Chain A
Amino acid sequence: QQQRVPNTEVYLQGSVLKPFTEFLLTRLRGICDSPGDEFRDQESVFTCAVPGLSGTRLRLRWSLLHPHLPAYLRYLGIPESADHRVMSRAAYEVPVFPLDAARQLVESMGFQHEFDFIAEGTVFRRGLLKITVYRVYRPGAHASLAPESSLVEVSGLGPSSLTAGMVESVLSVRDQLKSLVLLAKHDQKAPKA
């Protein structure tokens, strides 16, 4: 039963310049199962305040477009490169409700709020994969942190038994988008607030 719980995420990231974003979205509409849904999510990042565990983070993410939906409590592990072609990490996304009680819970667990960000863009589905094209904002800002481009992510979250298949799917999408966006592994450093 443990094997069926989604706990591993494999992914690649890239970016696309503003003038080419529309071409990318058109191509994605063609190769994906869904026509693309707009999303606008806010994510609160919390860091463990307990000495000795200060690297550990928990994230709380909720939709600003659909506030009635449950929020997600997310734990993301350190990115590893078990497969040299894709990034992978432990990932748990737990639906939680209600949002304010979830926030209190995270703080009761010894975590302190570090920063918030807003992610806004389009999400596509292809099989078990999720492809997102989005911009990152500080809450309250009009312009995104990188106004001339959008982030592109191809990721698959599933049980470790399905990882091999998802890696192949991720690589297939990478190849199909080659002419528009370079999707690759990236050196992960902790983002500054």
Chain B
Amino acid sequence: GVTVVAFIESGSAGEQPLSSGPALSGQQLIEDLSGRLERLGAERESGQFSLDMEVYTPVQQQQQQQQPASQQQPQPRTLHVVASSEAPVSSYILPSGSSIEAAAGPLVSADSMFGLLLGQLRALYQAKPGQAVHCRGPKYRLADFTVRLATAVFGQSNSVKGVFVEAEYRPCNRLQFGWPLLKEFFSGVFPDRAFAVEHPNEALQAHLQAQAATGPIDYTYPVTVQQYLLLAYQLGSSRQQMRSAVAPSSAADAAVPVSMQQQQSWGRAPLPGPPSQLIGR
């Protein structure tokens, strides 16, 4: 069903949470949000929700940069590969640099075997566990809604940078129709985060705009995956601005400054300005 994903930074990351409440750590946030859901009568679903966004960078990239511009071949792009417990046999792949606003949606859905195929191309791509994002958390069912909460751990550190909150309205598969109800539900359950659903995010807007060209399209899980990738990207960009000098996370990354690393990994055109007017507020 139609789904919206938002991200709440945890206080332990050193930034001010945007609500007026006290700064909460990632785990405390999960407990706080879970508590709210349970008080509303939500039932905890069995099993854990997990979503991993892995990054694979081209091996040749750094060598290419040393050649004069005239000799450079089209470079292989960094790949983001997402695996989710909600689609256990699938992998979702997004080459970086592609615009999330592209009408056709450049996200590729593939069998989970894709990672093994990439493993055969070891000379071309290497995994970068330091840039991965791992999300884990509980799932709740409340009437026709499912809420998935997940602590987000960036790279190989153990510290939780925040919490992803996903709200799905299961019966509806058309975003235009389900958005108002989804927004109302989210704002009602998480009133201090209502700003996160003031307007549909860029991934949802892209989904709506694609329909302007081709006619109605069902909302499918890849659009949810796009939202996670979008939020992780925005988080990566904002962190990069706040960091002035940070020690590299591993020797292999030391050759390239961290800010350039982030750009190479999530390098995209800046996100556009005003939100879509396709659906009412």
Report how far A77 CA is from B97 CA in the complex, Å.
29
Given contacts A53-B123, A75-B120, are A110 and B74 in contact (CB under 8 A)? yes
B77 CB–A CB distance under 8 Å? yes
Q: Which residue of B lies closest to A49 (CB)?
A: B73
B86 CB–A CB distance under 8 Å? no
Report how far A105 CA is from B74 CA in the complex, Å.
13
Contacting pair A56 B124 (CB below 8 A): yes
Q: Using an 8 Å CB-CB cutoff, how does the interface string of A75-98 with B read, 1 for contact, 0 for none?
A: 101000000000000101011111
Q: Which residue of A lies closest to B222 (CB)?
A: A97
**Interface secondary structure of A, over-half rule:** mixed
**Interface secondary structure of B, over-half rule:** loop
A104 CB–B CB distance under 8 Å? yes
Contacting pair A5 B116 (CB below 8 A): yes
Q: Which residue of B lies closest to A109 (CB)?
A: B76
- A residues 25-79 near B (Cβ < 8 Å) are 48-53, 56, 73, 75, 77
**What is the minimal beta-carbon distance from A45 to any residue of chain B, in angstroms?**
16
Q: Which of B95, B104, B109, B120 contacts A108 (CB 8 A)?
A: B95
Residues of B within 8 A of A104 (CB): 95, 98, 106
Report how far A75 CA is from B114 CA in the complex, Å.
10
Contacting pair B108 A101 (CB below 8 A): yes
Q: Using an 8 Å CB-CB cutoff, how does the interface string of A111-133 with B read, 1 for contact, 0 for none?
A: 01000000000000000000000
Contacting pair A100 B60 (CB below 8 A): no
- B residues 108-150 near A (Cβ < 8 Å) are 108-111, 113-114, 116-117, 120-121, 123-125
Residues of B within 8 A of A100 (CB): 104
**What is the minimal beta-carbon distance from A25 to any residue of chain B, in angstroms?**
31
Q: Which residue of B lies closest to A99 (CB)?
A: B108
Contacting pair A53 B124 (CB below 8 A): yes
Contacting pair A96 B73 (CB below 8 A): no
A7 CB–B CB distance under 8 Å? yes
Q: Which of A94, A107, A112 contacts B117 (CB 8 A)?
A: A94
B105 CB–A CB distance under 8 Å? yes
Residues of A within 8 A of B114 (CB): 73, 94, 96
**What is the minimal beta-carbon distance from B139 to any residue of chain A, in angstroms?**
24
Report how far A109 CA is from B111 CA in the complex, Å.
18
Contacting pair B116 A73 (CB below 8 A): no
Residues of A within 8 A of B108 (CB): 96-98, 101-102, 105
Contacting pair B124 A73 (CB below 8 A): no
Top 9 closest pairs, chain A to chain B, by CB: A110-B76, A108-B95, A92-B117, A108-B77, A96-B110, A101-B108, A95-B111, A97-B109, A105-B108
Q: Chain A: residues with CB nearer than 8 A to chain B?
A: 2, 5, 7, 48-53, 56, 73, 75, 77, 90, 92, 94-98, 100-102, 104-105, 107-110, 112
Identify 19 new A-B residue pairs, CB closer than 8 A, beyond the known A50-B76, A73-B114, A108-B98: A5-B113, A5-B116, A7-B116, A50-B60, A56-B123, A56-B124, A92-B116, A92-B117, A92-B120, A94-B110, A95-B110, A101-B107, A105-B95, A105-B108, A108-B77, A108-B79, A109-B124, A110-B74, A110-B124
Write 30 A-B pairs (CB below 8 A) sorted by A numbering.
A2-B116, A7-B116, A48-B124, A50-B58, A50-B60, A50-B73, A53-B60, A56-B121, A73-B117, A92-B116, A92-B117, A92-B120, A94-B113, A96-B110, A98-B105, A100-B104, A101-B104, A101-B105, A102-B108, A102-B110, A104-B106, A105-B95, A105-B106, A105-B108, A107-B74, A108-B77, A108-B79, A109-B76, A109-B125, A110-B58
